[in-house]
Amino acid sequence: MSWISTAWSKIDHAKAAILKTTRLSFQREPLSLLDPMSEFDSTDINTYNFCKLEALLVETEADLERMQHIGHTDADHRHDALLRRTRTILRSLDDHKNREWDRVKIESVLRQTQEHLANNGPLMLSALSKARGEKARGLQPFVLAAFIMVTVLHSIAATARLKSQYILATIEAVLYGAFVFSNVAASSGPTLNLLQANVLRNFPQDARTAMAALGVEPDGVTHFACCSKCGDTYSPNRRRPDDAYPHFCSNRETDKPICGNPLVYQQTHVPTTKNGPSRTTWEPFQIFPYRTCSSWIADLFQRPGLDLLARAAWEPVLRPLKTRWHDIWDAPVLRDFLGPDKKTLFARQPDGAVHLIFSMFVDWFNPHGNKKAGKSHSIGVIYLACHNLPPHLRYLPENIYLAGVIPGPKEPELHQLNHFLRPLIDELVILWERGLYLPQTASRSAGLPVLARVLAPGSRVMI
């Protein structure tokens, strides 16, 4: 009798340490959902207590099975009750083990899937900035007009930042004068009311602030440091914003020594607070700005209907060939082109996917104009036209993807052009092999996925 009471008490004590939610650790991580259960990792305290309880129950069950009934009603009754309880707890421990192993398997497979997608799946673009241009919606119309004017002057009419600042300061002064004048005329005194003071407080001092409020600045622009001697480009280290680039060029052309040209200079910034420390940064002598293709596609598909137009561009390709060609879409190179699996026609777009076709161009211009006696200065642009857009939209400036601007003053040698094309080509390879996933487009606000694959057939370099 006393043995049964002691055993009962030991089991209750050991069981108190185990809850239905107790997590168990296993020695081996499962690789698939079919993997048999691994041994326990008893260095984990919860798992150790679990194993201890299970061992106690197994031992108790064996002892009880060996014991014979002694003919004492109460004692035999307690013996059977303890055996039933022992077996019930053992069954619940078995269930718990199986549930825990299932949990570990699912977590492991999910983690492997996520890692696989991160390395091999489509390029995932995080949720698009909904705040784009959101600030402009809350502006007074007369303030919005000033924002638009300065943005147009700065970005289209090439008005320098300093001159744009002068224009903004003048508008602010005019607004202040108009407010005070109207307040005096209305006999409310020269003091600004709360609304007027708020308008002036939030008035931009710089064209960049106005452009940011309107949301016209493109996303996804990276500034590469560019060697002025050999044209090699260096991506910034985003974890070191004040010293983001190598200080010297490490490029080595065939049969030549390492370039070694300095890439950056030291810039000291005035303290932002009185008696505060001044800040030193390393700035590139020359910059090669590059906009990612994925951010351009995301922007394009934010415009209503363009993703549907891009998808529909393939429809004629799937119909029988006409006798006369009207567009690039009639060309056999597109009709017969195979997708990245090298089996399926690229023309066949899976549900929700859009396959894009681009032509690539590199062209040069003189920023000082083409004057005969003017300075010879050449700046290059790398740009792509998306053939999925109908011909009347395809070459409009707003529909051209400006990938990068090659700094002057001279055109690089043809082999040096590779340094400027590298970021784009690297991205096109990813877009071709893995595709791009957009969380939303203008036509698919519910978040239906769009898979975009990019191809640049017969890329033309016009120099």
Q: In the complex, which residues of this chain contact Zn ion (CB under 5 A)?
A: 227, 229-230, 232, 249, 251, 259, 261
Residue whose CB is less far from Zn ion, 257 or 320: 257
CB of 285 to Zn ion, least distance (A): 11
CB of 251 to Zn ion, least distance (A): 5
CB of 414 to Zn ion, least distance (A): 16
CB of 229 to Zn ion, least distance (A): 5
Residue whose CB is less far from Zn ion, 251 or 440: 251
390 DSSP 8-state letter = -
Decide: 293 and 453 in contact? Cβ < 8 Å.
Answer: no
Residue whose CB is less far from Zn ion, 246 or 457: 246
Residue whose CB is less far from Zn ion, 86 or 251: 251
CB of 249 to Zn ion, least distance (A): 3
CB of 248 to Zn ion, least distance (A): 8
Residue whose CB is less far from Zn ion, 251 or 292: 251
CA distance 117 to 152: 42
Decide: 144 and 136 in contact? Cβ < 8 Å.
Answer: yes
CB of 246 to Zn ion, least distance (A): 10
CB of 228 to Zn ion, least distance (A): 8
CB of 141 to Zn ion, least distance (A): 51
My answer on whether omega of the bond before 409 falls inside 30° of 0, hence cis, is yes
CB of 260 to Zn ion, least distance (A): 7
Residue whose CB is less far from Zn ion, 223 or 229: 229
Residue whose CB is less far from Zn ion, 164 or 251: 251
Specify the 3-state DSSP secondary structure of 150.
Answer: helix
357 DSSP 8-state letter = E
Residue whose CB is less far from Zn ion, 210 or 230: 230
Report the 3 state secondary structure along 213-248. HHCCCCCCEEEEEECCCCCCEECCCCCCCCCCCCCE
Decide: 194 and 202 in contact? Cβ < 8 Å.
Answer: no
Cβ neighbours of residue 200 closer than 8 Å, sequence gap 6 or more: 172, 175, 176, 179, 192
CA distance 457 to 359: 7
Residue whose CB is less far from Zn ion, 104 or 230: 230
Decide: 189 and 183 in contact? Cβ < 8 Å.
Answer: yes
Burial of 153 (0-12, 13-18, 19+ CB in 10 A): middle
CB of 119 to Zn ion, least distance (A): 32
Residue whose CB is less far from Zn ion, 234 or 301: 234
Residue whose CB is less far from Zn ion, 112 or 286: 286
CA distance 91 to 84: 11
CA distance 259 to 251: 6
Residue whose CB is less far from Zn ion, 230 or 382: 230
CB of 364 to Zn ion, least distance (A): 21
